[in-house]
Amino acid sequence: MDRIKEVLQDCFQVPVTEEAGKLILSYGALKRVEASIVDKKLCVDTTPNQNVADEEIIETNRRFRKFLDGATGYTAKQRVSKSKKEVGK
């Protein structure tokens, strides 16, 4: 979790708090981001902030993708492939 917290702080440049084993932050188009590790897998729940400009949505999305890349070590294409394999089990 320490590494995930570092990646969150690096990507979003905002304070990250911890509540009940989950890392919590708020940034731009994401009203709330909750990240945790469950069964050795990264779980991220997001709550959108719908009252933001398109530019802020694009910037938030760019930072979120950068976070996922850094936290998982996989590209978006690799994450999709792994997800499909999990669903097929």
pLDDT by residue for the chain (89 residues), tens digit each?
Answer: 999 999 999 999 999 999 999 999 999 999 999 999 999 899 999 999 999 999 999 999 999 999 999 999 988 899 889 888 888 86
Place of tokens 């320490």: 2
Q: What is the pTM for the complete model shown?
A: 0.87
Q: Which residues pair with 35 in a beta bridge?
A: 23, 44
pLDDT score, position 74: 87
- Domain residue limits at 39: 2-88
pLDDT score, position 87: 83
CATH (domain of 38): 3.30.310.190
DSSP string, 51-63: SS-HHHHHHHHHH
- The neighbour count for residue 29, using CB atoms within 10 Å, is 21
pLDDT score, position 29: 97
* Domains in the chain, number: 1
